[in-house]
Amino acid sequence: MGSEMHDVMIISDDVVGEKMAGPGIRAWELARCLSRHFKVILAIPDYSYKSNKTDFFTDLSFDVVSYSLKIPSFIQSVAEKSRIILTQGFILSKFPGIKSLPVHLICDLYVPFPLENLFVHKAKIPDLKDREFIHHNDLRVFNEQLIYGDHFLCASQRQKDLFIGSLMSLNRVNPQILDSSPSLEDLISVVPFGISGEDAADVESKVVRKRFPQIKEDDILLLWGGVLSNWFDPVTLIKAFRDALEVKQNLKLFFLSTKHANPLTPPFEMAREAVRISDELNLTGSHVFFNEDWVAYSQRGAYFRDADIGVSIHKTHFETYFAFRTRILDYLKHGLPIICTEGDYFAELVEREKLGIIVGSERRDELKNAIVTLASDSGLRTEIRVRIEKIREYFDWERVTEPLVRYCRKVLAGEIKKKSLPSRKDIAFICSLRRESFLKKTAKKYIWLLFQRLPLSSGAKIRRLFKFMS
C-alpha cells in the first residue's frame, strides 16, 4: 500500500482502531468520507489497539498503514506518493520532513491543544517555569502548522475566529490570499465533528443495567459519555447528584471511562478525584458507577441507548469558549436529553434548540434542579427527543465534510496552488524580533510623517528603496 499513489493521505496523531478517542475517530471518519470521492490512505500509530476477534480493519474503502516514530522514513515515503496530506496534533513536529514535500498540506486544528494542555499540566506540574517551557513548545508546534499549512480545518465558527486571528499574526492572511479568496474559504474550512450511522455490530441492549444489576429497569440513568479530563467538573456533578437523590431516589449515574483510549496518555487527576468524592459520599457501587476500560467504537452505542439523560459539566475558563465537546454528539445521535454547563458551542445549541437544560458553572443547586426536572418529567424528555431528531442530520459526517471534499476537488483539479509561505525574515519583522540600527530608528521617526502625506504608491516605493519595511 505504501508504494501506491494516493490523492489524500491522512495521518492520525492518536490511536485508531476498535478503541479510540476523538482525534482517532475524526481521522477514521474523514478517511471514510473522503474515500467516497478520492483514493485515500490513513496512517495510524503502531500502538493502536487491534484485536483478532473483530474485522475492524477489513473491507475498507481506503488503505490503512501503521507507522512508527522510530522509522520516519516510512511516513516520508508514503507522503511523497500523495498529492494532499492531512495532519493533526503534533504530526509535523514528529515528521518534519513532510514540510519540505511539494504536496498540499491541510492541518486539522479542531483540537486546540495549546489551550487544553494549559489545564492538563496545571494539575500535573507544580513548577511554573516547567509549565511555561511546555507551553512554549506547544505554541511552537502549533505555529509551525500555521506557517506551513496550505489549508486549515476547525470545528466551529468560534474556532475559526480564533484561528484566523492566529493566522493573521503570522502573515497567513495577506494580500495574496485575499486576492484569490476574499472570504478565506481557500484558507480555512469549518468541518465540525460528525455523527455516524449505527454500526451493524452494535445491537446489544441494556448493557449498563446488565453489567450493574444495582441499576433497575425503572431507574433514570444519567450518562457521562467520555473520559474525565482535567478541564471537566465531575465533582460538582456528583455532589449535585447526591442532592438530587434526596428528592428522587431512582437515579443512577454512569461514567463511561476513567481512562483514555491512548495507552500513552497518563491518567487524569480529575478522574481520580471523581472516584474519591463518590467514595466519600458512599455513592460508588450503589448509585454512581465508573467504567475503567475504554469502550470499543462499534459497541459504545449500546451504552448510550441504555441511558435516559446525557451530562457534560465543566468549569468556565478560556478553553471552554473554544471547545467542541464531542460527547454531546453521541447524546444527539442517541436522542438523549442533555444537561450541560453554559459557555461552550454546544451549550448555545442546546439552549437555542431546547435540547435539554443549561446550568451555570459550579452551580450545584442549578444542576440538582436540572437533574430532578428532567428525571421527573418523561413527557419533557420525549419532547426533547423529537427536537433532537430534527437537529441530528446537520451533523451527519457526510454533510459536515462537504467543505473539505470541495476543497480537495479544487486542489486535485489544479484550481488551487500551494500558497506562498511567510519567510523567516517576514516573521521576524512582524514580531519585531529584528534589531534596528540607530540610523533606521531616526529615519522612521522623522520621515514617517512625510510618508503619510504622500500617495500610497509613492510611499510604498520609498519604503522599499530604503528597506524600512524589509
pLDDT digits (tens, 9 = 90+) for 205-253: 788 999 999 999 999 999 999 888 778 899 999 999 999 999 999 999 9
pLDDT confidence band for 151 (50 / 70 / 90): very high
Quick check: 327 and 300 in contact, CB under 8 A? no
What pLDDT score does 115 carry? 85
CATH of 207-394 among 3.40.50.300, 3.40.50.10320, 3.30.450.40, 3.40.50.2000:
3.40.50.2000
Quick check: 26 and 111 in contact, CB under 8 A? no
Residue 222, SS3 per DSSP: strand
Q: Do domains 6-194+399-412 and 207-394 have the same CATH topology?
A: yes
> Among 98, 102, 105, which Cα is nearest to 76's?
98
Cβ of 226: how many Cβ atoms within 10 Å? Answer: 22
CA distance 92 to 144: 8
Question: Does the pLDDT at position 402 exceed 90?
Answer: yes
CA distance 296 to 406: 32
Phi, psi of 307 (to 5 degrees): -95, 165
CA distance 250 to 244: 10
pLDDT confidence band for 444 (50 / 70 / 90): low
Q: Please report, rounded to a whole number, the percentage of residues in the chain having pLDDT higher than 70.
A: 88
Quick check: 240 and 368 in contact, CB under 8 A? yes
Query: Helices (H), strands (E): how many in the chain?
Result: 21, 13
Question: Does the pLDDT at position 470 exceed 60?
Answer: no
- The CATH class given to the 6-194+399-412 domain equals alpha beta
CA distance 66 to 169: 36
First to last CA, the chain: 47
> Among 97, 135, 98, which Cα is nearest to 118's?
135
Domain ranges for the chain, please list them. 6-194+399-412, 207-394, 435-470
pLDDT confidence band for 441 (50 / 70 / 90): low
